[in-house]
Structure 1
Amino acid sequence: MAIHHLHAAVKAARRAHEVEVANSSAEHGPWFDELLHAVPMAVIMAAAAVEAQANEAIQDILDGMGTAQATDAQKVLLRELKDSSASNTLDKCRHVALVFGQVPDRGRTEWEEANLLFVFRNRLIHFKPAWDHEEVHDSKWVRALKQRIPVYAPYATAFQFPYGFITYGAAKWAVTTALAFAGHIAPILGVPNRFDGQSYALP
């Protein structure tokens, strides 16, 4: 499912690009609803692709497709990790790496970006309305995202979440972040990168 989740994210990102280009000189209006549909879809599905890829990586190892052969004890740990909903996806990847003696550098850009992707995804899925003065609009993770993705112009000076991040740039960032993390973590876990050989090109 990881491949299909990411294809869904890419399709949503491409749609966001089409809408943004078609309305580049237009005032804020009903067309923005199209972005409200496409951009969160891209973010949510990109994060879902990373989650699916992590679980599929564990199954690859259990099926003997990894470079390291798991012992019976390691297989027990891996099955518990795959079935667990207690830890987040990035922790799960780290734990799998540790099982095989690898210590990932979580200070790397790929980990930082992926963590932001999941924060963004969670804030969209578990959306809570907030007044303009509330902390969410100027939180640490919002400031971090502003350094990575363009803000929708009408909200540039008086930012509001999520509307300020409803841009094609946000959708593209989500897809590229998912791809970068997958490309980084697959060799650490000793499994194939499922996204290799797929077409995920974006404008």
Structure 2
Amino acid sequence: MDNRVPIWVWHYFSLDHARAASSFSRKCGELEALAPSSGDEDTAPIGTRSDHRSYATSSVLASGAFIEACINEFILTASRDDLAHVEGAEARTGLELNERQQITAAGRDLSKESKTLERYQKVLQLLGREQFDRGARPFSEAALLMRLRNELVHYKPQWRPEHSDERRSTDQHNLVVGLMERKFTPNPFYADSMNPYFPEKCLGHGCTSWAWNSALKFADCFFSRAGTTWMYENARYTLQP
């Protein structure tokens, strides 16, 4: 007879994504210190560029995953009496019972919303809180980040001009224009190359720092409006990109 008591675990992955996004971003910065200066011979160890691309891509993906995990965790935690009112638990939503009941009742409709940022908007609306201005920060930055994340996840190759102003090229689209307008420091491994802006010049420490900071500011603003904090708060000092 098996007398073992089963243990159930409710895991919050948003903190894992936060740590991954910031850690991979720092790795990008460390490798960029090995990049050659303009006109100098490239003496970086073999594999440095490919490692750098891996870190940059992983950081952006984790930043996007962090945004999605936060709202899903918030919605599902609100529906659980055994989580929402645990004394001292980091995961408490901080919501009143009637507010949690509203979110629980709308749970199915919220889960059907395919656009992650709209899920945030609907939750704020249900709670009677001020919604985000879609045309202003931090929403606009989070929206651009999610578009970049989706471009990487659902990537479809296409011909890009070797070297030109991409704003005028056939490859011009709102994502690339938006990223170029942020003017973050380009990937130094390709800064002087003839390669197009995306992905070579775009995916670097400047981009990953922007992506993670945008994700964190968006989450901070949401939880502030909701009147609570989330798991990453106690680890904030470790989450520098």
- What is the distance in 2 between the residues matched to 1:97 and 1:19? 40
* Distance 1:138-1:196 versus aligned 2 partners, 3 A rule: same
**Residue 220 of structure 2 is aligned to residue 193 of structure 1:** no
2:102–2:126 Cα contact (<8 Å) kept: no
How far 1:151 moved relative to its partner?
2.5
**Residue 87 of structure 2 is aligned to residue 88 of structure 1:** no
Where does residue 48 of structure 2 map in the other structure? 31
1:151–1:166 Cα contact (<8 Å) kept: yes
Q: 1:13 aligns with which of 6, 22, 25?
A: 25
**Residue 124 of structure 2 is aligned to residue 97 of structure 1:** yes
**Residue 110 of structure 2 is aligned to residue 75 of structure 1:** no
What number of residue pairs does the alignment pair up?
200
- What is the distance in 2 between the residues matched to 1:23 and 1:32? 9
2:22–2:59 Cα contact (<8 Å) kept: yes
How far 1:187 moved relative to its partner?
2.0
Higher percent of residues as helix: 1
**Residue 203 of structure 2 is aligned to residue 176 of structure 1:** no
How far 1:36 moved relative to its partner?
1.1
Q: What letter matches 2:220 in structure 1?
A: G
Q: What letter matches 2:63 in structure 1?
A: A
**Residue 76 of structure 2 is aligned to residue 59 of structure 1:** yes
* Distance 1:161-1:137 versus aligned 2 partners, 3 A rule: farther
TM-score w.r.t. structure 1 length?
A: 0.86
* Distance 1:138-1:103 versus aligned 2 partners, 3 A rule: same
Where does residue 108 of structure 1 map in the other structure? 136
* Distance 1:61-1:24 versus aligned 2 partners, 3 A rule: farther
How far 1:32 moved relative to its partner?
1.4
Moved more, 90-99 or 166-175: 166-175
Larger radius of gyration: 2
Q: 1:150 aligns with which of 180, 185, 198?
A: 185
- Structure 2 segments unaligned to the other structure (5+ residues): 1-12, 85-92
CA-to-aligned-CA distance 1:52-73 (integer Å, 9 cap, x gap): 0111111233234333332645
- What is the distance in 1 between the residues matched to 2:34 and 2:106? 51
Moved more, 93-102 or 154-163: 154-163
* Distance 1:160-1:108 versus aligned 2 partners, 3 A rule: closer
* Distance 1:73-1:96 versus aligned 2 partners, 3 A rule: closer
**Residue 72 of structure 2 is aligned to residue 45 of structure 1:** no
1:5–1:49 Cα contact (<8 Å) kept: yes
How far 1:15 moved relative to its partner?
1.0
How far 1:163 moved relative to its partner?
1.4
How far 1:155 moved relative to its partner?
5.6
How far 1:51 moved relative to its partner?
0.6
Moved more, 189-198 or 161-170: 189-198
- What is the distance in 2 between the residues matched to 1:112 and 1:176? 13
* Distance 1:151-1:138 versus aligned 2 partners, 3 A rule: farther
How far 1:103 moved relative to its partner?
3.5
Percent of aligned positions with the same letter in both sequences? 24
